[in-house]
Amino acid sequence: MLTLHYAPNTCALATHIALEQAGAAYALARVDFSRQEQRSEAFLRLNPNGRVPALVTPQGVLTETPALLLYVAQCYPAAGLAPLDDPFALARVQELNSYLCSTLHVAHAHRVRGARWSDDAAAQESMKRKVPQNMQAGCALIESRLLAGPWVLGERYSISDIYLFTVSEWLEADGVDIAAFPKLAALRQRMRDDPLVQRVKAAEA
């Protein structure tokens, strides 16, 4: 049995969707950010960074969304969530997922968690003002280079689409007009229209 520690409106949504699409046996454990449960002693034993997602597996605890998504895809290969048979295509999946994790998610966090990088209030405000520009630039790169369309890998759906969808749900709050990126907008709408994705989002609400 797997247990996904999550909080609503976070990147944990991607792993939640992947688990459901894989048909995995799993349980959910909500981490209440409003009560600072991510800083509790019990949770910090799972993830010393105090962040979600954290996935408890029979072998131990895994963190970081790209790792969790690949783990799910490899544990449930019949679900076809990653091109495990094609090293180049799998590298493309990891390319996009790494970019989301290392660049776009960080740019987004500058709006809501600037205190991670600076204790200076003016510096935090400066970071916030830069968020729309940085997020738009990231979306432009994805649209032009990393998203083949209709899915990241073209006709083949993968964990990259799940992760990209999750990040795309933050864009309006980050000052991005997603309509300027038609391939990304179309991918997000297809995911939103999926009854499974709707059920997962409702379960997290």
- Give the strand pairing for 2-6 and 26-30: parallel
From 61-75, 112-126, 156-170, the region with the lowest mean pLDDT: 112-126
| 151: β partners | 154
Domain containing 114 equals 87-194
Name the average pLDDT for the chain.
97
pLDDT of residue 92: 98
Residues 106 and 68 both lie in one domain = no
Residues 48 and 101 both lie in one domain = no
pLDDT of residue 133: 97
SS3 63: strand
pLDDT, tens digit, for every residue of 74-109? Answer: 999 999 999 999 999 999 999 999 999 999 999 999
Residues 33 and 61 both lie in one domain = yes
DSSP designation for 131 = H
DSSP designation for 149 = S
pLDDT of residue 143: 98
Residues 121 and 166 both lie in one domain = yes
Residues 47 and 91 both lie in one domain = no
pLDDT of residue 204: 95
CATH number for the domain harbouring residue 132: 1.20.1050.10
Taking residues 148-165, what's their average pLDDT? 98
E strand or H helix at 5: strand 2-6
Residues 51 and 113 both lie in one domain = no
Residues 64 and 104 both lie in one domain = no
pLDDT of residue 114: 87
With DSSP H G I counted as helix, E B as strand and the rest as coil, what are the percentages for the chain, rounded to 5?
65, 10, 25
Whether residue 3 has pLDDT greater than 90: yes
Q: What percent of the chain has pLDDT over 70?
A: 100
Residues 51 and 133 both lie in one domain = no
pLDDT, tens digit, for every residue of 168-192? Answer: 999 999 999 999 999 999 999 999 9
pLDDT of residue 43: 94
* Whole-structure pTM value: 0.96
CATH number for the domain harbouring residue 24: 3.40.30.10
Residues 128 and 151 both lie in one domain = yes
Number of folded domains that form the chain:
2
Q: What percent of the chain has pLDDT over 90?
A: 97
pLDDT of residue 59: 97
pLDDT of residue 198: 98
Residues 56 and 98 both lie in one domain = no
Whether residue 67 has pLDDT greater than 90: yes
Residues 72 and 97 both lie in one domain = no
